[in-house]
Amino acid sequence: RLKIFIDVGGDRAAADVCRVLSALGIAACNVGQQPSLVVVKSRELARLAEVAQCSADGGLCDARAWWATAARPPPLRSSLQEKRKHSRGRRAMWTHIEAGGAASA
Protein backbone atom coordinates (compact mmCIF):
# COMPACT_ATOMS: atom_id res chain seq x y z
CA ARG A 1 0.00 0.00 0.00
CA LEU A 2 1.16 3.50 -0.85
CA LYS A 3 2.20 5.67 2.11
CA ILE A 4 3.39 9.27 1.72
CA PHE A 5 5.51 11.22 4.21
CA ILE A 6 6.04 14.95 3.60
CA ASP A 7 8.53 17.08 5.51
CA VAL A 8 8.27 20.59 4.07
CA GLY A 9 11.32 21.86 5.94
CA GLY A 10 11.32 25.11 7.83
CA ASP A 11 8.18 27.08 8.42
CA ARG A 12 6.38 27.04 5.06
CA ALA A 13 3.05 28.76 4.65
CA ALA A 14 0.12 26.36 4.95
CA ALA A 15 -1.03 27.38 1.46
CA ASP A 16 2.26 26.06 0.02
CA VAL A 17 1.81 22.76 1.84
CA CYS A 18 -1.76 22.51 0.49
CA ARG A 19 -0.48 23.00 -3.07
CA VAL A 20 1.95 20.09 -2.58
CA LEU A 21 -0.84 17.91 -1.19
CA SER A 22 -3.09 18.82 -4.11
CA ALA A 23 -0.37 17.92 -6.62
CA LEU A 24 0.20 14.60 -4.86
CA GLY A 25 -3.52 13.89 -4.90
CA ILE A 26 -3.69 14.55 -8.64
CA ALA A 27 -0.62 12.37 -9.27
CA ALA A 28 -2.12 9.53 -7.20
CA CYS A 29 -5.37 9.74 -9.17
CA ASN A 30 -3.47 9.68 -12.46
CA VAL A 31 -1.72 6.42 -11.55
CA GLY A 32 -4.88 4.96 -10.01
CA GLN A 33 -3.43 4.40 -6.56
CA GLN A 34 -4.67 6.32 -3.53
CA PRO A 35 -2.35 6.36 -0.50
CA SER A 36 -3.49 4.51 2.60
CA LEU A 37 -1.62 7.05 4.77
CA VAL A 38 -0.38 10.62 4.29
CA VAL A 39 1.79 12.18 7.01
CA VAL A 40 2.69 15.87 6.81
CA LYS A 41 5.24 17.55 9.06
CA SER A 42 4.29 21.23 9.00
CA ARG A 43 4.43 23.77 11.83
CA GLU A 44 1.83 25.99 10.17
CA LEU A 45 -0.69 23.18 9.68
CA ALA A 46 -0.08 22.11 13.29
CA ARG A 47 -0.82 25.67 14.47
CA LEU A 48 -4.05 25.71 12.49
CA ALA A 49 -5.03 22.29 13.85
CA GLU A 50 -4.48 23.43 17.45
CA VAL A 51 -7.29 25.98 17.19
CA ALA A 52 -9.69 23.92 15.06
CA GLN A 53 -12.99 22.67 16.45
CA CYS A 54 -12.85 18.90 16.86
CA SER A 55 -15.35 16.19 17.70
CA ALA A 56 -15.04 13.99 20.78
CA ASP A 57 -13.03 11.43 18.80
CA GLY A 58 -10.54 14.10 17.61
CA GLY A 59 -11.81 14.52 14.05
CA LEU A 60 -12.28 17.95 12.50
CA CYS A 61 -15.88 19.15 12.82
CA ASP A 62 -15.78 20.92 9.46
CA ALA A 63 -12.83 19.53 7.48
CA ARG A 64 -13.81 21.34 4.27
CA ALA A 65 -13.77 24.76 5.97
CA TRP A 66 -10.51 23.93 7.79
CA TRP A 67 -8.73 22.98 4.54
CA ALA A 68 -10.14 26.10 2.83
CA THR A 69 -8.64 28.22 5.60
CA ALA A 70 -5.31 26.36 5.44
CA ALA A 71 -5.10 26.74 1.65
CA ARG A 72 -5.75 30.49 1.72
CA PRO A 73 -2.53 32.34 0.76
CA PRO A 74 -1.03 34.60 3.43
CA PRO A 75 -1.68 38.33 3.07
CA LEU A 76 0.75 40.23 0.86
CA ARG A 77 3.43 42.29 2.54
CA SER A 78 3.66 46.00 2.01
CA SER A 79 6.70 47.33 0.13
CA LEU A 80 8.07 48.63 3.44
CA GLN A 81 7.77 45.17 5.01
CA GLU A 82 9.55 43.63 2.00
CA LYS A 83 12.39 46.18 2.22
CA ARG A 84 12.82 45.45 5.94
CA LYS A 85 12.83 41.70 5.31
CA HIS A 86 15.54 41.98 2.65
CA SER A 87 17.53 44.39 4.79
CA ARG A 88 17.52 41.90 7.69
CA GLY A 89 18.60 39.14 5.31
CA ARG A 90 21.51 41.18 3.92
CA ARG A 91 22.60 42.19 7.42
CA ALA A 92 22.55 38.55 8.56
CA MET A 93 24.53 37.46 5.48
CA TRP A 94 27.24 40.10 6.01
CA THR A 95 27.43 39.31 9.73
CA HIS A 96 27.98 35.66 8.81
CA ILE A 97 30.65 36.53 6.22
CA GLU A 98 32.47 38.89 8.60
CA ALA A 99 32.49 36.10 11.22
CA GLY A 100 34.45 33.92 8.82
CA GLY A 101 31.61 32.08 7.11
CA ALA A 102 31.34 31.72 3.37
CA ALA A 103 28.61 33.31 1.28
CA SER A 104 26.20 30.83 -0.29
CA ALA A 105 24.04 31.28 -3.34
Can you give the pTM of this predicted structure?
Answer: 0.61
Q: What pLDDT is attached to residue 68?
A: 92
Q: What pLDDT is attached to residue 8?
A: 80
Reference 9, options 39, 35, 38, 40; nearest CA is: 40
At 40, which helix (H) or strand (E)? strand 37-41
> What's the rounded mean pLDDT across residues 37-66?
90
pLDDT at 103 over 80: no
